[in-house]
A and B are shown apart, each in its own frame.
Chain A
C-alpha cells in the first residue's frame, strides 16, 4: 500500500519529522483509520527513498506518542487514538500552515498590516464561495 506522503527536500524540517507529521495528519484526518496496516519499515524506506534508519525513527516516535502500534511478527498498525489528540494534531497543522504563509510573506518584505489584508481577502473569497 502506498501512502500519500510527499517529502520536501528543500524544507529545513528533518526527513523523519516530515514523515512523522504527515502520518499524524493522515491518522488525525481519518484517512488512516484505527487498525489500518502500515507499510513495513523496509517497504516505506523504498517508497520514500530514505534509509530504514530514518523510517524506524519516525515509527518509534509515532509509537511512543500513541499513534501507531507494532505487534511482533504481524506488522505495524494505526492505533486507536483519542478525539482530543486528533484535534490537537489538526489545530497544530492549521497553525503551522498559517505560520508558514506569514513567514513567506515576511521573506518578501510584507508588513503585518499587508499580510492581514491579504488574509482578509482570502477569507472573503471563501465566504463568497460558501454563500
Chain B
C-alpha cells in the first residue's frame, strides 16, 4: 500500500497560473516600454519631465479607483456606480464649500460621502442579495440623479485657493501630489492583497465563495467592506478631480466606471474573480495613460482613443478566456 502511495507523482505540462500572470505582467511592462519609446520617437515634445508629469494627470485619478476596484472584482463582485459616486461626492463638497466650510472639512466630507455610497452598494449586495451588477446599475443612475437634483445644470466653484493643491500641486519638482498619492496607495494595496491574510481571503472568496464560507471566512462582511473602501476611494478621487478642475458640475466623471474597469481587466484581473494582481493593474493604467496621451500629442481625435481602448479590452478578455479554456481542457 505505502509503496504504491509513495511512488512519485508525475505532473502534467507545467502550467501554473502564477506563471501566466507573471507573463501577462511582463507583457504589459514591455507594452509600456514600447509605447514609451514610440511616443518619444513620434513626438519631440514627449520626453520632458513636465510633459510626462502632465501626461500622468489624465489617468492617475482613475487608476487610484482601479486599485480597490481590482479587490472587488477579485472578490467576485463589481461596482459600476463609481463615476456617479465621484459626481455625488463632488457635489457634496461643492455645496459645503458654498456654505463656507474650510478645505479640511471638504476633504473629510468627500471621502465620507463616497464611503456612505459604497456602504449603500454593499448593503444592497450583501444584505438584500441584489446581484452587484444590477445593484450598481441602479445606484449609477441614482447617485447621478441626486447630483443633478442638487445642482441642476449649475456649477459650484466657491472653493478656497488651498483646495487646488490636491489636483494641481507638486511634491518635488515635476512630481505631482496625485502621482505620489497613487504610488503610495498602489504599494499599500499590493502589500495588502498579496502578503496579508485579508488579501489571501479576498482571493479565496472570489475563487470559491462557498468553500470560503465553510472555511470560516465571513464572506459577506468582506464584500461589504470592499464596497465601502471602493466608495471612500472614489470620494478621494473626487477630491483630486474637483481640485484639478476647480469646479463641480453634476456631469463630472461621466463614463469613468468603464475606463476604471478597463484598467482592472487589462491588468489581468479575471472578471470571474479569484485572480489578478495590483502590479498588473498599475501597469495597465500606465499603458492606457501613455497610449491616450501619445495619441493626443499626435493630434488624433478623441474617437480614436475610444477605438483603441475598446480593442485592447476585447483583446485581453478573449486572450485570457482562451487561456482559461485550455487550462480547463487539460483536466478532462
Please indicate whether A and B come from the same complex rather than being unrelated chains: no
B: residues with CB less than 8 A from A are: none
